[in-house]
């Protein structure tokens, strides 16, 4: 009797553990019902908001650029489902694109006046060297000479007060050797001013002309800010 009770308890624990593990596993959400191609609907699905995926730090370190191609279903329920990867990129960028796809907002397709589900291809581009940027600095960057320090994305370039306030926070100097710790402290100090988006404002290290590096602070102004009027 005691042995049977022990076996039952063990079986219960195994089943409960498996259920809990399954609950924590990510599931590929599927769209119920028929799914149509764009050519087969009366009115195509319309994307109203398409978030841009985030670069991962690993992808930045490895200078990864390129396109990610997905196919998804814009389900009549309003959810993006059945995500399939046609072409991916390494270092977490594919997952970043999938996460962005799941956050897309859209108006479902219509067929005979009813909401229906529609397949759609999606592409996300990653380019670490957009116009105006130099190539990313190769590792190691620690100890390399700082050739230039640049502020990029600053609105109202003639507002001297704002420039002075930001430059006062930067201790990384041209001619000195670069320190990652010092660069991160400079960025943190700038963000304490509360002018810029903390997630999109970042530090970018680029190849210099003489074996050193350019230290570039790339700013994204907060939407509620208007530095032109400060």
Task: Please give the pLDDT value at position 9.
Answer: 47
For residue 72, is pLDDT > 60?
Answer: yes
Over residues 106-140, the pLDDT tens digits come to 999 999 999 999 999 999 888 665 556 788 888 89
Query: Where do the CATH 3.10.20.310 domains begin and end in the chain?
Result: 146-229
| Reported pTM | 0.49
- What token pair was written down for 221? 């102004």
Q: How far is CA 57 from CA 64, 202, 204, in A?
A: 10, 11, 11
CATH class, range 35-126: alpha beta
The yes or no reply on domain 146-229 and CATH 3.40.50.2300 is no
Tokens of 133: 């940027």
Of residues 15 and 69, more confidence is placed in 69
Indicate the pLDDT class of residue 57, thresholds 50, 70 and 90: confident
**Residue 130: strand, helix, or coil:** coil
Q: 106, 46 in Cβ contact below 8 A?
A: yes
- pLDDT of 164 higher than 90: no
Query: In whole angstroms, what is the distance from residue 47 CA to residue 210 CA?
Result: 47
CATH 3.30.2420.10 residue ranges for the chain:
35-126
DSSP class per residue in 68-117: EEEEEEE-TTS-EEEEEEEE--TTTHHHHHHHHHHT-EEEPEEETTEEEE
**How far apart are the two ends of the chain, measured CA to CA in Å?**
81
Residue 13's pLDDT is what? 46
Residue whose pair of structure tokens reads 């589900």 in the numeric block: 117
Structure confidence by residue, pLDDT tens digits, 171-224: 999 999 999 999 999 999 999 988 888 888 899 999 999 999 999 998 888 876
């Amino acid at each position: 009797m005691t042995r049977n009770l022990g076996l039952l308890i063990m079986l219960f624990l195994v089943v409960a553990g498996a259920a809990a593990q399954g609950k924590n596993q990510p599931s590929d959400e599927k769209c119920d019902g028929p799914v149509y191609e764009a050519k087969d609907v009366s009115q195509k699905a319309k994307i109203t908001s398409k978030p841009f995926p985030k670069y991962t730090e690993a992808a930045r370190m490895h200078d990864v650029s390129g396109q990610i191609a997905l196919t998804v279903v814009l389900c009549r329920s309003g959810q993006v489902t059945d995500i399939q990867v046609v072409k991916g990129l390494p270092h977490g960028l594919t997952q970043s694109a999938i996460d962005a796809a799941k956050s897309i907002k859209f108006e479902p397709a219509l067929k005979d006046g009813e909401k229906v589900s529609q397949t759609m291809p999606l592409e996300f581009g990653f380019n670490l060297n957009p116009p105006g940027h130099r190539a990313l600095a190769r590792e190691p960057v620690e100890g390399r000479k700082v050739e230039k320090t640049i502020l990029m994305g600053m609105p109202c370039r003639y507002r001297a007060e704002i420039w002075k306030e930001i430059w006062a926070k930067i201790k990384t100097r041209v001619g000195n050797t670069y320190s990652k710790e010092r660069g991160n402290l400079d960025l943190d100090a700038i963000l304490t001013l509360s002018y810029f988006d903390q997630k999109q404002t970042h530090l970018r290290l680029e190849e210099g002309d003489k074996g050193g590096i350019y230290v570039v602070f790339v700013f994204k102004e907060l939407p509620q800010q208007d530095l032109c009027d400060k």
